[in-house]
Chain A
């Protein structure tokens, strides 16, 4: 071992670390399947960071283990180690390299975030076309509700200025599908303003530009579809949007990610990504149901405090089980 120069060892170690890091970065299998336009962007970025991270981890961890073994005190050994107090070039090197890495990651993440639409919520051309009228219509159907301020806020529906907005390729265009999403303890309610459908599950067509207008009726909830890599809080009083394109037909979980009470963990539903034809079929089938009057059967508390409309209650009844903690 003594005959082989240190530089050869360093080189070999460098190559091995690089290979392992690349392998880990691309075969980690830690992320669920990708089902939105944004997902590959996030994943590639994550893979890059995992690659760099693995390399740094192996180098630092390797150094620690190596030093601990090599420089451990043997039995009977006395005295002190080498009195090295610093090494300016070395310190400059290990300050500069991480600084460069994080600056690179910072700039790159801005770029990814831009492509995800993170920098464009409340794009104005788009909102000129999509006026908040539909939201008003939904509320108007419930004249009997005792006033709920949250609902009133929903009705006002000012232009969302936060959230994940249009990605650059659809910027300035109106979305293909708009869904108003209201979070309440412990359910999501999806309202389709153009058809009046109210649902406890989200149905969307694949490959279409979908915009969710998020609102919260009681506490903060957070809309998350892991397969879409998208998450956005629904905050009482703060209209928010989440715009994306699903890329794969299938059924994916919708998870509430913000602590919203005891049954937060039970606030789960599904997003069903249809082919455009199936979506149309679903829509025409459900439009009929939505206009049939139904009698509320949720507790009075829900109806009165939250200003839930009768249809909405029926739909939630039919499609989710989350309103009734006793069953969980």
Chain B
């Protein structure tokens, strides 16, 4: 497999290492997986800020029942682009593109991804996609929600809608290219001394994620291309008055977009499985259960999409089949949660920012998961579908489950990426504000939905005003919570305490190289002598053969 195509005049043991990368390297078609990972992370974070600003604008609008801050069409454009940006331009690129690219080769002892140039290409599809999405505002902005159901999407803001579709197809292509790369890299390039059961759980999660992306993304692309044709070229795949069927779109869309939820969450679960053992100083509880549950979620996750369509055109038998399959996903997810909680038991838990965010994720995800179970059952879903209960649920899962995990990952691996530690006091402040803000914003939304407030509305029944005001205050707390984080990142990147190679005493391979790592990761490839989670296990210090008998 091709390794990184590096300029030959860069000797591996450059004296001024680890400062081998210059700032402008990050603006080039660089093929190093670490540069690409950071490119993804920074780009995604910029989009997070943009999407967050849109959220704050929406919440400001929703502070009162009337539509008095944004006009309703602009509200819908913000709502659509907020959802789109958060999913396709923040969580997915940050988790898969950012952490995946940065960590997978380091964790398996490879010098780079299998196809470095493909990797760079996959990243460079993102900026034009994002530009296209933002430029759509010049044409009014797509307004049909991130789901873009026809006929609404075929009749409103058609130019902006077409730009939206093209943007999604670009990021979708990026994600397919990335997935192929991850699968081949993990499959073929781990150091020979690493057994499959010593593969860090993050890599297992990336493997499952990539398989899922590879199966589901093309379906979304197909669905969107048909939509694009309906809008621009007079076809009628989804036009009921000309023999088309609007519900087909919903099937195609959700066949991708429900698994997309797992695309977002599986890599984050992977991050959790790395962060928790290191800071709890304990082996991860139930390694195999966690690895297999990722694969199980990925398989069952392909058969749950109709739970988004209980109130639309689905035959009754489908509602039943999909109720059951949806509920079943809760089991492997529960197994993971319980395993992480059990990992805390008997540990020596270091309550630093990374760990706080990881534990914060655990508690938020429990709530999001439980409300997900109620949504999975057809009778309750009929009542709360398309209401704020759903908005509450998916923000608990996506904010609590994704953003907390990404933050945990950033605090955990920042020293590896930059060679410097983040400031802990700012980190803890950031955590506290984020935790309070998230709960204040999203907890009351459950009640709004149950009581009768639909989602995606710029104006609502005045009886819901007091609760909405609480949510809006929460959103402002969340907005402010970013400030200590930004200060922390910028300051620590330049002036932070020097971290050393392994500040947390981690055992996975990325901690065996320098911080930041050399251009080809190691001067001499590492030999795996113990598992990635063997904290407190002395006898494992010996050879790998010894482990083999142990595990049985």
Contacts and interface: CB of A to CB of B under 8 A. Distances in A.
B457 A222 contact: no
A258 B250 CA distance: 13
Contact of A255 (B71, B315, B362, B452): B452
Contacts of B330: 98, 102
B214 interface: no
A57 interface: yes
Contact of B67 (A152, A268, A328): A328
Contacts of B286: 85-86, 91
A256 interface: yes
B151 A118 contact: no
A99 B331 contact: yes
A82 B379 contact: no
A94 B345 CA distance: 16
Contacts of B447: 30
B392 to A, nearest CB: 11
Interface string B242-259: 101111000000000000
Contact of B335 (A71, A72, A94): A94
Contacts of B347: 67, 71, 81-82
Interface string A131-164: 0000000000000000001101100000001101
Contacts of A103: 324, 327
Given A60-B337, A86-B287, A110 B240 contact: no
| Contact-residue bracket for chain A | 35 or more
Interface string B427-457: 0000000000000000000110011101111
B339 to A, nearest CB: 8
B304 to A, nearest CB: 12
A150 B155 CA distance: 15
Interface string A267-290: 010000000000000000000000
B459 interface: yes
Contact of B334 (A77, A98, A116): A98
Nearest to B282: A81
Interface string A96-134: 001100110110011011001011110000000000000
Interface in A210-232: 218-220, 222, 224, 226-227, 229-232
Contact of B373 (A49, A152, A220): A49
Interface string B67-81: 100011101100000
A63 interface: yes
Contacts of A260: 152
Given A81-B348, A105-B373, A265-B457, A259 B283 contact: no
B461 A30 contact: no
B342 interface: yes
A257 interface: yes
Interface string B517-539: 00000000000000001111100
B280 A71 contact: yes
Nearest to A95: B335
B349 interface: yes
Contact of B241 (A110, A119, A150): A150
Interface residues of B, number: 96
Contacts of B73: 262
A32 B383 CA distance: 11
A262 B143 contact: yes
A266 interface: yes
A262 B142 CA distance: 11
A24 interface: no
Interface in B351-408: 351, 359, 362-363, 366-367, 370-371, 373-374, 377-380, 382-383, 385-387
Nearest to A120: B316
A80 B348 contact: yes
A255 to B, nearest CB: 5
A306 B156 CA distance: 16
B452 A102 contact: no
Nearest to B332: A95
A114 to B, nearest CB: 9
A265 B145 CA distance: 14
B466 interface: no
Interface stretch (A8-16, A187-195, A196-204, A234-242): A234-242
Contact of A261 (B156, B328, B344, B459): B156
Contacts of A118: 316, 319, 378-379, 382
A90 B342 CA distance: 10
Contacts of A168: none
A60 B319 contact: no
Contact of B282 (A84, A98, A238): A84
A42 B379 contact: yes
Interface string B94-106: 0000000000000
Nearest to B288: A86
A175 B255 CA distance: 36
A73 B349 contact: yes
B351 A72 contact: yes
Interface stretch (B165-173, B306-314, B494-502): B306-314
B349 A264 contact: no
A296 to B, nearest CB: 22
A47 B366 CA distance: 18
A46 interface: yes
Given A81-B536, A164-B382, A86 B285 contact: yes
Contact of A67 (B244, B344, B455): B344
A71 B346 contact: yes
A220 B456 CA distance: 14
15 contacts: A42-B379, A68-B349, A79-B536, A86-B286, A87-B285, A91-B338, A94-B335, A105-B327, A149-B240, A235-B312, A237-B246, A259-B145, A262-B73, A264-B456, A265-B72
What 8 pairs between A and B have smallest CB-CB spacing? Answer: A237-B240, A265-B457, A149-B241, A80-B536, A226-B452, A81-B347, A262-B72, A82-B346
Given A45-B379, A98-B331, 18 more contacts: A57-B366, A60-B338, A72-B349, A73-B349, A73-B351, A80-B535, A81-B281, A84-B346, A110-B320, A162-B315, A220-B312, A229-B383, A238-B245, A256-B454, A259-B152, A261-B76, A264-B76, A264-B454
Interface of B: 67, 71-73, 75-76, 143-145, 149, 151-152, 155-156, 240-242, 244-247, 280-289, 311-316, 319-320, 323-324, 327-328, 330-331, 334-335, 337-339, 341-342, 344-351, 359, 362-363, 366-367, 370-371, 373-374, 377-380, 382-383, 385-387, 446-447, 450-452, 454-461, 533-537
